[in-house]
Chains A and B, each alone.
Chain A
């Protein structure tokens, strides 16, 4: 069991689909992150939210749209993705931004066909 829960575990979508990845935590994390990980590569930062406000956007294409509705939830909305966007998408949380351990969810394995 992890402190950060991601759904779905697996997702297959076409290039014209719209889907959302969800992340939930109830551990009081005020910093929440989206990372993307390709096979045999380290995780790459996409977005960071601090106190429900977008703090960092690592020049991610607009087909990825993050949302933080409240302190427990983080969404990643997907639209018009490309096959090269297929990857493991990881959500993570930390009590504070940059000064506390980062805890990852189990990830969503996304395949774009």
Chain B
């Protein structure tokens, strides 16, 4: 099956810093989504981004499907950005199965 690898696994930032999270996948995908899971377990959909670039406030994402990677940019980080960021992909004939990477755990210090 497809492999989804996220890097780095852990990231510690000072408030106000910028960061880039990466998601590599081993096969062609139908779509890719980025999620943020806060410390209380709530999973929020950040981006649905099978290709191209999208921006939402301080966050932006870029997926280069032909090169099998996606990037999530966080600018001017805040303590509320802390949590785990997952990328998840949907591929092949099994359209419903969204495969998650292992996540990047982000800690933003005040």
Contact = CB atoms under 8 A, between A and B. Distances in A.
Contacts of B31: 98-99
Category for how many chain B residues contact A: 20 to 34
Most chain-A CB neighbours within 10 Å: which of B35, B44, B86, B96?
B96
Given A42-B86, A42-B101, A42-B103, A98 B45 contact: no
State the 9 A-B residue pairs at the shortest beta-carbon distance, nearest first: A98-B95, A42-B100, A48-B96, A101-B48, A104-B43, A97-B96, A101-B45, A56-B96, A98-B90
A97 B45 contact: no
B42 interface: yes
Interface string A87-113: 010101000011111111011010000
Interface of A: 2, 31, 33, 37, 41-45, 48, 50, 55-56, 58, 88, 90, 92, 97-104, 106-107, 109
Interface of B: 30-31, 33, 35, 41-45, 48, 86, 88, 90, 94-98, 100-103
Nearest to A56: B96
Contacts, number: 59
Contacts of A58: 97
A36 B86 CA distance: 15
Contact of A88 (B41, B86, B103): B41
Given A42-B101, A106-B42, A33 B96 contact: yes
Given A42-B86, A109-B41, A97 B95 contact: yes
Contacts of A102: 33, 45, 88, 98
30 contacts: A2-B42, A31-B96, A37-B41, A42-B86, A42-B100, A42-B101, A42-B102, A42-B103, A43-B100, A45-B96, A45-B97, A45-B98, A50-B96, A58-B97, A88-B41, A97-B95, A98-B31, A98-B90, A98-B95, A101-B33, A101-B48, A102-B33, A102-B88, A103-B45, A104-B35, A104-B45, A106-B41, A106-B42, A107-B41, A107-B42
